[in-house]
Amino acid sequence: MSSPDTIVALSSAPGRGAVGVIRVSGPGVPQIAAGIIGGLPTPRLARLSCFLDAQGRSLDQGLALYFAAPSSYTGEHVLELQGHGGAISVDLVVSRLLELGCRLARPGEFSERAFLNGKIDMAQAEAIADLIDAGTAAAARAAVRSMQGEFSARITDLKTRITDLRAYVEAAIDFPDEEIDFLSDSALSQRLAAVFTAFASIAAAAHQGALLREGLTVVIAGLPNAGKSSLLNRLAGDDIAIVTDVPGTTRDVLRQQVHLDGLPLNLVDTAGLRPTLDVVEAEGVRRAHQEISRADRVLYIVDAAELDPRAIGDPAPKVEGIESLPAGVPVTIVFNKIDLIGAPARLDDGADPPRLFLSARSGAGMELLRAHLQAGVGYLKAESGAFIARRRHLDALKRARQHVQDAADILSGTRAFELFAEDLRLAQHALGEITGEFTSDDLLGEIFGSFCIGK
Ligand SMILES: Nc1nc2c(ncn2[C@@H]2O[C@H](COP(=O)(O)OP(=O)(O)OP(=O)(O)O)[C@@H](O)[C@H]2O)c(=O)[nH]1
Ligand SMILES: [Mg+2]
């Protein structure tokens, strides 16, 4: 599958740096090496070389490293030139390489070639990009796990189990005389149960990974003056939003990212929800509703000091304005300012929606809030063996599991074994999408197009 073009890109960060790494990949590497450093170095041995222009003058001096196909990142011949990391000196060397017949690489093109040449699968390629983009140490560790193939190995294992199951059933279809004895034993249902167990454990690890990668968007909403901005500042540990006792202080949407034990939390502070004739504030309220509709969780802040004291013990207190929240977005009602009413911090998890009593001013109840947000998405604080995962992986896992479920339903209902085998085939196909066995050009473009240049 080797591509005829030889590509070049700066693989280290652009700008000023101690070292600039220029990577060249493709069949033209031997001839290009002859042009720029006078010949191919011994594979995998660093060689101090002058990088030469067309007249044989030195453009820069540095290390040259050669990886012979197929033992390289891309699976093609690769030459790496490690020169000085000045913007101009890097440009001069890249220009010379273009002159020698390379073309500039597209974003992610080295990794795309690695994928097309079977050096890495799709989940591993995605993990490389996620490692580079990781925002926390936990996310980076999960990305390394996926990059090294742990996630793919688990998917492959699951696929093998499903293949076995299919083979078992297809044998029965091929020998209908033996069907009854062959399938009435419990071996089949045992195998099926093992497949479901494997799904559950992979889905849990992938769910953790997706949380580490994408985080949780928490929108702080409520009536004016309830203490929304105070809560944002308290969670961020910084004086980010303006806080005053004037209702309607916040109008713009304010965003701040914090981490809860490795879980990225995208906090959004919004304008207090109230009807208003002020055009600026009305726009703020409109934007607040927009944010609420996209939230993973809404913290609906209520000023506890303004509440009828009887409402506090009420299992279903009337909370003003809460009816304006859309159905389907998880909400927690946060009774703020408990310092004013002398109530203790408390989490009422059993209530629907859950209720939390805290004080943004004193900080009482903040630990309860943090734990509640983590528990709400099933985040495990401890290192959990997570694999970095994307929505597309979770989606494929879900579809695959559904196909196996459909197969199981057939087994318990009609015993139409052809349909059973067909559902298992669909499940395998969905799993194959994760590792990239089945991919469209669109998906390739989407995934590798979001990579850095030079990766
Ligand atoms: N006693 C007490 N006062 C608080 C607490 N939280 C906020 N306040 C006060 O309540 C007032 C409003 O706080 P903000 O954080 O600006 O409230 P907001 O909900 O962002 O208000 P808008 O942006 O106007 O919608 C300020 O005077 C805060 O100091 C709290 O826990 N206890
Ligand atoms: Mg505010």
Per-block mean pLDDT, blocks of 10 residues, the chain (455 long) = 81 94 98 98 98 97 97 98 96 97 96 96 95 90 94 95 86 63 67 92 92 94 97 96 96 95 94 95 97 97 86 73 92 96 93 94 97 92 81 95 92 78 93 90 87 86
- Which residue minimizes the CA distance to atom 10 of ligand 1? 227
CA of 243 from ligand 1 middle (Å) equals 6
Q: Is the CB of 340 under 6 A from ligand 1?
A: yes
Mutate to test the pocket of ligand 1, among 219, 220, 229, 230 (most ligand atoms within 8 A of CB): 230
CA of 323 from ligand 1 middle (Å) equals 22
Give the ligand at the shortest distance from the Cα of 364: 1
Q: What is the DSSP string of 318-365?
A: --TTGGGSPTTS-EEEEEE-HHHHTPPPEEE-SSSS-EEE--TTT-TT
Q: Is the CB of 119 under 6 A from ligand 1?
A: no
Mutate to test the pocket of ligand 1, among 219, 220, 223, 225 (most ligand atoms within 8 A of CB): 225
CA of 278 from ligand 2 middle (Å) equals 16
Type of residue at 93? V
Q: Do the two domains 7-119 and 128-211+387-436 of this chain adopt the same fold?
A: no
Q: For 108-119, give one letter per residue: b (16+ CB within 10 A) or e.
A: bbbbbbbbebeb
CA distance 410 to 173: 15
CATH numeric code, 128-211+387-436: 1.20.120.430
CA of 225 from ligand 1 middle (Å) equals 5
CATH numeric code, 7-119: 3.30.1360.120
Give the ligand at the shortest distance from the Cα of 342: 1
CA of 222 from ligand 1 middle (Å) equals 11
Give the ligand at the shortest distance from the Cα of 234: 1
CA of 282 from ligand 1 middle (Å) equals 20
Contacts of 360 (CB under 8 A, 6+ apart): 227, 230, 231, 233, 234, 336, 337
Please check whether residue 381 is in contact with residue 139, taking contact to mean a CB–CB distance below 8 angstroms: no
The reported pLDDT for the residue numbered 125 is 95
Both structure tokens of 417: 């074994």
Q: Is the CB of 272 under 6 A from ligand 1?
A: yes
CA of 304 from ligand 2 middle (Å) equals 16
Q: How far is CA 355 from CA 97, 317, 373, in A?
A: 64, 10, 12
Considering only CA atoms, which of 205, 201, 235 is closest in space to residue 138? 205
Q: Is the CB of 336 under 6 A from ligand 1?
A: yes
Please check whether residue 27 is in contact with residue 6, taking contact to mean a CB–CB distance below 8 angstroms: yes
- CATH architecture of the domain covering 217-295+297-376: 3-Layer(aba) Sandwich (3.40)
CA of 239 from ligand 1 middle (Å) equals 13
Do you find a cis peptide bond into 4, omega within 30 degrees of 0? no
- Which residue minimizes the CA distance to atom 8 of ligand 1? 227
CA distance 232 to 39: 60
Please check whether residue 325 is in contact with residue 273, taking contact to mean a CB–CB distance below 8 angstroms: no
CA distance 95 to 100: 9
The reported pLDDT for the residue numbered 416 is 78
Q: How far is CA 54 from CA 6, 96, 191, 353, in A?
A: 19, 8, 66, 72
- Which residue minimizes the CA distance to atom 27 of ligand 1? 245
Q: For 191-224, give one letter per residue: b (16+ CB within 10 A) or e.
A: ebeebeebbeebbebbbbbbbbbebbbbbbbbbb
Give the atom of ligand 1 at the shortest distance from the alpha carbon of 245: 27
CA of 211 from ligand 2 middle (Å) equals 27
Give the ligand at the shortest distance from the Cα of 226: 1
The reported pLDDT for the residue numbered 385 is 81
Give the atom of ligand 1 at the shortest distance from the alpha carbon of 249: 24
The reported pLDDT for the residue numbered 3 is 54
CA distance 107 to 215: 25
Q: Is the CB of 245 under 6 A from ligand 1?
A: yes
Please check whether residue 142 is in contact with residue 264, taking contact to mean a CB–CB distance below 8 angstroms: no
Domain boundaries, the chain: 7-119, 128-211+387-436, 217-295+297-376
CA distance 159 to 162: 5
CA distance 91 to 16: 12
Torsion sign, CA atoms 220, 226, 231, 232: positive
Estimate the crossing angle of helix 150-174 against helix 137-147, to 10 degrees: 40
CA distance 108 to 444: 10
CA of 242 from ligand 2 middle (Å) equals 7
Q: Is the CB of 225 under 6 A from ligand 1?
A: yes
Q: What is the DSSP string of 353-365?
A: S-EEE--TTT-TT
Do you find a cis peptide bond into 70, omega within 30 degrees of 0? yes
Give the ligand at the shortest distance from the Cα of 233: 1
Please check whether residue 256 is in contact with residue 265, taking contact to mean a CB–CB distance below 8 angstroms: no
Q: Is the CB of 427 under 6 A from ligand 1?
A: no
Q: Cα-atom radius of gyration of the chain, to the nearest Å?
A: 29
The model's pTM: 0.81
